[in-house]
Amino acid sequence: MLRRFPSPASKLCAVRFCFSQLSLLAMIFWITGCGQTGVPLPPTLRLPVPVDDLTANRVADQVTLRWTMPHRTTDKLALKGPQPVHICRQVGNGSCETVADVSFPPEKPASYVDTLPASLAGGSKQLLSYTIEVRNRHGRSAGASNPVYTLAGAAPPPLSGVRGEMTASGVLLQWQPSSLNGDEHKIEIQRTLLSISKPSTSAKPGHSPFAESSPQLVKDQMLTVQQPDGLETGKVLDPDAAPNQRYSYRLSRAEVVTVNGKSVQVEGATSSEISVTTKDTFPPRPPIGLAAVAAPDEGAIDLSWAPNTESDLAGYAVYRRQGSSEPTRVSPADAPLETPSYRDLTAKPGQEYTYSVSAIDRDGNESARSVEVTETLRTKP
């Protein structure tokens, strides 16, 4: 029996068939594997990054929490839309109990005010701690925020009898003093600029008659004044208020207490608002060191004195009298002298004159006149 061998044409067809099948398989693998490198990744859980800048501030019976919302998940995906936030509060060593579940948009400052129940707003001091969790839509989180601490218990009482008045050194704030408890005591002052007045035409911007510094016109500013142990001073000076402006003031007591090794501050309710207009009605000090020297060859009497040091000084005025007459101004009346010296060219030979000097500030307030000096312009030899 004869064996039949495939013809060349049959072999060619078989090779072509195998090649087409291999090409098809390669294409299938290429399509199904396109875009995939390495080990396949598990699906994302979309867990927001935990908050790390939570703060707490208690005033009276309210605790204000502030933080910045995250904008990405733990696997660096952008968060979109409001994100659920779980807030809890822990008293002492107890469990962290839910305060609220709220929502905030990502990448924005957020805040929440927790009004303490009567059981925590009064009574003995206890440590309070807060944490928050930013959760995904399934209620899962990547962990709690940094913990923050404040106190349960009675807050310092509000200040009573608050009043303010202008003095030559600044705004003097006063209240009814009280005995104090706690490790450290403060008065918190909220100062608000109610209106901005233009400085007088002769004034240089930024100079204050109440301080040697040059205060800026800040709309809102918080000032903190330490108080001695045991009893408040009942008064505090604000030397940095700018002149010729109108301010409002609110004051509150604050105490710092150490509980379980943590120092936390509690602030009492703010006082009623008072307003003060910082009009400069206070003159400079009278000049000192006035001396008079006759200059017969020039037909004049030369005056000099020590310069004043007030920051709002505009200049000086020179007065002269003869005998028992009233002093009259001999320096120019339209503008004060800018330097602490003056030459009187109107003096007559053989006449005795008595001189005095005053200082004038940029608001036109004039000091009392200096100690007088007497000089006679002698006749030329």
> What pLDDT does 208 receive?
45
Distances (CA, A) of 107 to 52, 82, 93: 13, 10, 32
User: 291-376 domain in CATH 2.60.40.10?
Assistant: yes
d(CA 242, CA 210): 8
d(CA 235, CA 174): 4
d(CA 356, CA 327): 8
C-beta neighbour count of 365 within 10 angstroms: 16
pTM of the model as a whole: 0.67
132 contacts 114 by C-beta, under 8 angstroms: no
Q: What are phi and psi of 10, to 5 degrees?
A: -65, -40
What single string gives the DSSP state of each residue in 301-367?
EEEE-PPP--TTEEEEEEEEE-TTSPPEE-S-SSS-BSSSEEEE----TT-EEEEEEEEEETT--BP
Dig out the tokens for 135 from the structure.
């959760």
Closest C-alpha to 141, from 74, 55, 66, 69: 74
> What pLDDT does 182 receive?
64
Domain-wise residue ranges, the chain? 55-152, 163-277, 291-376
Q: Which CATH architecture has domain 163-277?
A: Sandwich (2.60)
180 contacts 251 by C-beta, under 8 angstroms: no
Nearest-5° Cα angle at 25, 24 to 30: 100
d(CA 311, CA 19): 99
Task: Count the alpha carbons within 13 Å of 215 in the hemisphere toward its beta carbon.
Answer: 18
Equal fold, 55-152 vs 291-376? yes
Q: Letter for the amino acid at 252?
A: S
DSSP state of 315: E
363 contacts 280 by C-beta, under 8 angstroms: yes
> What pLDDT does 12 receive?
45
> What pLDDT does 224 receive?
86
Distances (CA, A) of 376 to 181, 305, 342: 69, 18, 16
Non-local (6+) Cβ contacts of 96 within 8 A are: 88, 89, 90, 129, 131
C-beta neighbour count of 67 within 10 angstroms: 22
pLDDT tens-digit readout, 88-110: 999 999 999 999 999 999 999 99
Rg of the chain, C-alpha, whole Å: 41
Q: Letter for the amino acid at 332?
A: P
Give the strands of the sheet with 96-104, arranged side by side. 96-104, 83-91, 126-134, 148-152
> What pLDDT does 29 receive?
47
Three-state DSSP at 144 gives coil
Task: State the fold for domain 55-152.
Answer: Immunoglobulin-like (2.60.40)
Low-confidence ranges of the chain (pLDDT < 70): 1-44, 180-182, 197-218, 229-231, 381
> What pLDDT does 64 receive?
98
